[in-house]
């Protein structure tokens, strides 16, 4: 169970970082090179979060199907 809590915290921290990146990109006040690096990081974070949520959804479907 502790592993799930750590993974959830990891997910939450990545989601918070993604939100931070979106704010920086929206502001557009950083140099273009910095924005490109942040954009790339945001894409990777988005992929991770999407995969995490898909796994969570599958698990919920499995649990629901067992009842």
Domain holding 54, by residue range, is: 32-67
Asked if residue 59 belongs to a domain, the reply is yes
Asked if residue 46 belongs to a domain, the reply is yes
Chain segment 34-43, per-residue pLDDT in tens: 999 999 999 9
Query: Is the Cβ–Cβ distance between 48 and 16 less than 8 Å?
Result: no
Indicate the pLDDT class of residue 9, thresholds 50, 70 and 90: confident
Checking if the pLDDT of 26 tops 80, the result is yes
Asked if residue 22 belongs to a domain, the reply is no
Asked if residue 9 belongs to a domain, the reply is no
Domain count, the chain: 1
Asked if residue 37 belongs to a domain, the reply is yes
Asked if residue 6 belongs to a domain, the reply is no
Mean pLDDT of the chain: 91
pTM above 0.85, yes or no: no
Asked if residue 4 belongs to a domain, the reply is no
Asked if residue 39 belongs to a domain, the reply is yes
| d(C-alpha 42, C-alpha 36), whole Å | 10
């Amino acid at each position: 169970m502790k592993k799930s809590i750590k993974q959830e915290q990891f997910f939450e921290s990545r989601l918070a970082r993604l939100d931070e990146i979106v704010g920086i990109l929206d502001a557009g006040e950083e140099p273009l090179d910095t924005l490109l690096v942040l954009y790339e990081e945001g894409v990777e974070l988005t992929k991770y979060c999407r995969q995490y949520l898909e796994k969570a959804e599958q698990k919920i479907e499995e649990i629901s199907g067992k009842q």
